[in-house]
Amino acid sequence: MKVLVRSLVLFFAVSSVVPTASSGQSGWVWQNPLPQGNSLLAVAAIDPQTAVAVGGGGTILRTTDGGKSWTRQSSGTTQRLFGVSFVDAKVGTAVGWNGTIVHTTDGGETWPVQPTGTIMTLEGVSLADAQIGTAVGEGGTILRTTDGGETWTQQSGGEPLSLRAVSFVDAKTGTVVGTDLRNGVILHTSDGGETWTRHLSGEGDELSAV
């Protein structure tokens, strides 16, 4: 009986402080932590003041004051986002569940969804420039674009691996890391992904960033 009374007290206490539609609010409003509460899974630093973070529920946050404040952007998807890459303050790409890729050319004001032709989860992305980028993910998935994401082409070389992250230093030279469930795996290309050389890291655990 004491538990029931306490539950009723708690219910009425919460009801008395939460705004309802009749008091001018349309449903629930997120209060804390601000500006949202989904998990954040990746971040891209563009310059000392500007960065973009992505995460659960299609969350994309942007700061332009060195992280003192973050503004939530509309990503155009509710899929969990695992990776993000920017080439400058305007052009960026984020990737996530079910082959999701979203792309911006206006600093995140809009994030159109791009067709990928895959439903495999994508966990990492690296843009070499505004036109060329590579995304990697589950099942050894490696996708490459040379037209700013209008089209993404599957590359061979990933094998049945779990690929976690990718980094390109220019249009030709890049490295991917992940696991084959037994060892940490490193893939390297010097021809833009036409061929990938596989290296074992010597570590039993997966590699998740590069």
Span 83-116, pLDDT tens digits: 999 999 999 999 999 999 999 999 999 999 999 9
pLDDT of residue 74: 93
Please give the domain boundaries of the chain with CATH numbers for all domains.
Answer: 35-200 (2.130.10.10)
Neighbour tally for 153: CB within 10 Å: 13
Asked if 89 and 47 count as a contact pair (C-beta separation under 8 A), the reply is yes
β-pairing verdict for 71-73 and 81-86: unpaired
- The single residue listed with the structure tokens 């009723």 is 8
pLDDT of residue 106: 97
- Cα atoms in the Cβ-side hemisphere of radius 13 Å centred on 39: 7
pLDDT of residue 45: 96
Task: Report whether pLDDT(18) > 60.
Answer: no
* Mean per-residue pLDDT, 160-188: 92
Quick one: which of 58, 104, 59, 106 has its CA closest to 79? 58
Task: Report whether pLDDT(191) > 60.
Answer: yes
Task: Report whether pLDDT(24) > 80.
Answer: no
pLDDT of residue 159: 78
pTM of the model: 0.83
- Rounded to the nearest integer, the mean pLDDT of the chain is 87
Which residue has better confidence, 61 or 2?
Answer: 61
Asked if 95 and 122 count as a contact pair (C-beta separation under 8 A), the reply is yes
pLDDT of residue 7: 44
pLDDT of residue 10: 40
pLDDT of residue 42: 96
* Mean per-residue pLDDT, 57-72: 95
pLDDT of residue 31: 77
* pLDDT band per the 50, 70, 90 thresholds, residue 6: very low
User: Rounded to an integer, what distance in angstroms lies between the CA atom of residue 145 and that of residue 200?
Assistant: 27
pLDDT of residue 36: 80
Which residue has better confidence, 197 or 32?
Answer: 197
- Segment (H or E) for 186: strand 184-189
Asked if 200 and 185 count as a contact pair (C-beta separation under 8 A), the reply is yes
Alpha carbon 197 to its chain centroid, in Å, reads: 26
In sequence order, the 6+-apart residues with CB closer than 8 A to the CB of 142 are 134, 135, 136, 154, 155, 156, 157, 158, 163, 176, 193, 196
Neighbour tally for 129: CB within 10 Å: 14
pLDDT of residue 48: 96
* pLDDT band per the 50, 70, 90 thresholds, residue 20: very low
